[in-house]
Amino acid sequence: RISRTAKRPKGGNSEKLSTHRGFVGTRFTIAASPDLMALGLTSVVLPLRRSHFSLISANLHAMCAVWQSSTGV
């Protein structure tokens, strides 16, 4: 029999870290603190744009590496 605590996600609601499995690697997104949210929408949107840009950049780098290895350039 499985205990009830085994069905709970690790860390419960206190965990503020989420992962997204992308084309290359894993991207981590940390929730913005209430202090940053009080400053306005820009403080929440900017980190999301930066992490999105990093993911696109990593994908582009990986595609170039595959292309170079397959063409020998």
Question: Which stretches of the chain score pLDDT less than 50?
Answer: 12-23, 25-28
DSSP codes, the chain? ---GGGGSPTTGGG--EEEEE-SSSEEEEEPPPHHHHHT-THHHHHHHHHHHHHHHHHHHHHHHHHHHHHHT-
Domain ranges of the chain: 15-71
Q: What is the pLDDT of residues 38-55, one digit of tens each?
A: 655 555 555 556 677 788
Instruction: Report the percent of the chain where pLDDT is more than 90.
Output: 7
